[in-house]
């Protein structure tokens, strides 16, 4: 299954126009579109329209698209070069602009380079505990993506004691979602909950922006989200995640700014 099928993206007549129904499998506990799914949808549209793979993509969120809303995406390929296409996809709900995705797409070959970060040593996904969250997050994106805690504390272990700013999650879609820029965008947005690890508090986040940078793609059932939180000041957090395949290939990176608040009724 590819990301376009998972999200239910539908082309409207030509590759520049798309529709997305915000199903329960794509929403946050706040009952609106999960940011990573918005970025992923924009990248699906941009890749289809340009015929090129994503190099990087970034989304800014301007409004919320609630459960069962219909989003339309309009693609503008602003600059098409010999190797790189620069474009944007604007997602709207009626006349309301919900998000804008900007991206560079293309590929090249260069006989030089390497990967200069290392995958952390963590247990395999099936040897890690399932990440369990409160019952009210059922029927959301958290029910569609299976996550296991590879490094850091489970939700139940968050007792207010400060801890490490580094954590890691294994992520997969049951039935298997093949790796793509859109897949990495969806998994990368799980970074938004990682501010709980250094604070030891049960926190939740709302993405203000999401950026994914693609290094290389390869088949893998599970993706390791290797998270490094940088700061949480005045209610806003920043961090980065390295995305690894099961065999240790760096697939890409994800980063974002997150508006943080405490879980309530717990």
Q: How far apart, in whole angstroms, are the C-alpha atoms of residue 54 and residue 52?
A: 7
Structure tokens at 237: 């957090």
For position 174, what pLDDT does the model report?
83
For position 204, what pLDDT does the model report?
86
Tell me the whole-structure pTM to 2 decimals.
Answer: 0.94
User: 33: which DSSP letter?
Assistant: B
Q: Which domains does the chain have, with CATH numbers?
A: 3-106 (2.40.160.210), 125-262 (3.10.129.10)
CB 24 within 8 A of CB 182: no
For position 111, what pLDDT does the model report?
86
64-76 pLDDT, tens digit each: 999 999 999 999 9
Residues with Cβ within 8 Å of 263's Cβ and at least 6 positions away in sequence, in order, are 134, 202, 203, 204
Positions in the chain whose pLDDT score sits under 50:
266
For position 265, what pLDDT does the model report?
55
Q: How far apart, in whole angstroms, are the C-alpha atoms of residue 140 and residue 142?
A: 5
Q: Kindly compute the dihedral angle of the four CA atoms of residues 123, 195, 155, 245, in this order, to the nearest 10 degrees.
A: -30
Structure tokens at 191: 């970074």
Place of tokens 């799980």: 190
For position 51, what pLDDT does the model report?
97
């Amino acid at each position: 299954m590819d990301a376009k099928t998972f999200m239910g993206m539908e082309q409207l007549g030509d590759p520049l126009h798309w529709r997305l129904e915000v199903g329960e499998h794509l929403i946050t506990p706040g009952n609106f579109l999960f940011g990573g799914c918005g970025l992923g949808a924009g990248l699906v549209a941009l890749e289809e329209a340009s015929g090129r793979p994503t190099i990087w993509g970034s989304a800014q969120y301007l409004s919320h698209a609630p459960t069962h809303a219909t989003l339309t995406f309009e693609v503008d390929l602003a600059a098409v070069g010999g190797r790189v296409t620069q474009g944007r996809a604007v997602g709207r709900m009626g006349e309301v602009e919900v998000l804008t995705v900007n991206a560079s797409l293309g590929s090249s070959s260069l006989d030089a380079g390497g990967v200069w970060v290392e995958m952390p040593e963590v247990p395999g996904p099936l040897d890690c505990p399932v990440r369990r969250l409160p019952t009210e997050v059922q029927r959301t994106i958290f029910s569609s993506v299976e996550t296991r805690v590879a490094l850091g504390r489970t939700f139940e272990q968050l007792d207010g004691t400060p801890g490490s700013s580094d954590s890691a999650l294994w992520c997969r879609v049951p039935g298997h979602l093949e790796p793509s820029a859109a897949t990495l965008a969806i998994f990368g947005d799980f970074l938004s909950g990682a501010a709980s690890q250094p604070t030891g508090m049960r926190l939740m986040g709302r993405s203000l922006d999401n950026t994914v940078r693609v290094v290389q793609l390869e088949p893998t059932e599970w993706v390791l989200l290797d998270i490094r939180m940088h700061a949480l000041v005045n209610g806003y957090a920043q961090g980065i995640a390295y995305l690894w395949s099961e065999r240790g290939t760096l697939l890409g990176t994800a980063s974002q700014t997150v508006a943080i608040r405490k879980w309530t009724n717990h």
